[in-house]
Amino acid sequence: MRKAVVVPAILTENPGTLDIMIQQAELFCDYVQFDIMDGLFVPTRSITYEDLARAPTRLAWEAHLMTLRPESLLEGFRRAGARKVTFHYEAAGSPRDVINAARRQGLQTGIAINPQTDVEAIRPYVPEVDSVLFMTVNPGAYGSEFIPEVLDKVARFRQQYPDIEIGTDGGAKEESIARIARSGTNIIYVGSAIFRDPDPPRAYEHLNSLAHEAAGMRAG
């Protein structure tokens, strides 16, 4: 049975809020994604690797780089403690150069694509990365509108690549998470539905349970 698990996604531009969200996440999980935005590739900004380096945590984590020139940030994120970086195909002048640079830093590597990007664009790089991330929203902010048509792309991609790790990111809520899990994704990154809930630990456990159950139904 292929599992589908929820990974909390932390997005903020405020270092003080970052500390609070990390403390919340430490109550209910051991792995998170930090969303990094530069105000150029997407219209908003968020925390930097300097902020993460100053925010000690027991959590293991990865960075989702919604930034131009992602290769310029890799060393900083490695030093801050990242295990993995995911960069956007659309933001990289040469995706292969970014992949190779991340490998030299000892980082696991994922490649992300926006909802409008054809999967064919990333096919040459699939054998070289650890995961592929499908954005199910237009990136840039918590609470963006979910784009369900992306799940058809995920399902087709899963048929073609049965063994690769697939993630989806954006818009996952109680009413959509089962459909996301059944599409063939392994990891569902969830931000606002956890951290804007009055009880983040309960929200996380509930969403994770729904995802796991739905993935099991798909496998059955």
CB distance 169 to 161 below 8 Å: no
Q: Please state whether beta strands 187-190 and 31-37 pair in parallel, antiparallel, or not at all (unpaired).
A: unpaired
Give residue 142's pLDDT band: very low, low, confident or very high (50, 70, 90): low
Angstrom distance (rounded) from CA 55 to CA 35: 15
Secondary structure letter of residue 127 according to DSSP: G
**CA 148 to chain CA centroid, nearest Å:** 17
Share of the chain above pLDDT 70, in %: 96
CB distance 204 to 8 below 8 Å: yes
The answer to pTM > 0.85 is yes
Angstrom distance (rounded) from CA 147 to CA 100: 31
Q: What is the pLDDT of residues 157-192, one digit of tens each?
A: 999 999 999 999 999 999 999 999 999 999 999 999
Angstrom distance (rounded) from CA 85 to CA 18: 19
Arithmetic mean of pLDDT, 76-91: 98
Angstrom distance (rounded) from CA 99 to CA 103: 6
Q: What is the pLDDT of residues 15-51, one digit of tens each?
A: 999 999 999 999 999 999 999 999 999 999 999 999 9
* Residues known to be catalytic: 35, 169
CB distance 187 to 205 below 8 Å: no
Please tell me the predicted confidence (pLDDT) of residue 143. 66
Domains of the chain, with CATH numbers?
5-219 (3.20.20.70)
**CA 212 to chain CA centroid, nearest Å:** 18
Tokens in use for 9? 């996604």
CB proximity list for 88: less than 8 A, separation 6 or greater: 41, 65, 66, 67, 70, 111, 112, 113, 114, 139
Handedness of CA 67, 69, 70, 73 (dihedral sign): negative
